[in-house]
Amino acid sequence: MLRMVTSQARNLVGCLNSVRFFSQEVNETTNIEKTINQVTLLGRIGADPQRRGTSEHPVVIFSIATHTNYKHGTADFMQRTDWHRVCVFNPNLRETVSQYLKKGQRVMINGRISYSEYKDPSGNLVSSTSIIADDVIFFQ
């Protein structure tokens, strides 16, 4: 029994040796801490992109499907589809996506996740999650 505990302790020490500690980076003049919000998706477009927003704040919106494959018990592999709402604000990227991206096309999105709330026509508060695209890579 003592040998097992010693072995577990050795494994724990080995794990701790591989843990890295980073110093907290804070901009001294503004007191702003560095954080990361990064998303990469690879999937297929659900529908042709739509132009939305106003002339002052235009946006192109589309959905992308990603899949997770899993095995449930003794059954064959199953597939779960997740749909992601993607918003493109960058003017050059917005025009390219609007012009060339089509339903069913395979695409990779690099961007950040954004959470928001809005009121629907009935006055109910609705939560929304979107991916704000910084880069869109088209596949043939």
Q: Where are the domains of the chain?
A: 44-138
pLDDT at 22: 58
Q: Judge whether 106 and 81 are in contact, CB under 8 Å.
A: no
Between residues 44 and 77, the one the model is more confident about? 44
pLDDT at 17: 52
Residues 6+ apart with CB under 8 A from 24: 33
Q: Record the tokens describing residue 58, joined without a space.
A: 């235009």
pLDDT of 10 higher than 60: no
> Does the reported pTM lie above 0.85?
no
pLDDT in tens, 31-45: 788 899 999 999 999
**Exposure b/e, 10-45, CB count within 10 A at least 16 = b:** eeeeeeeeeeeeeeeeeeeeeeeeeeeeebebebbb
> Lowest mean pLDDT: which of 35-49, 66-80, 84-98?
66-80
Q: Record the tokens describing residue 127, joined without a space.
A: 């939560």
Amino acid at 66: T
State how far the Cα of 59 lies from the Cα of 130, in Å rounded to an integer. Answer: 12
Query: What band does 135 get if pLDDT is binned at 50, 70 and 90?
Result: very high
pLDDT at 140: 77
Domain 44-138 maps to which CATH number in 1.10.10.60, 3.40.50.2000, 3.40.640.10, 2.40.50.140?
2.40.50.140
pLDDT in tens, 102-119: 999 999 999 999 999 989
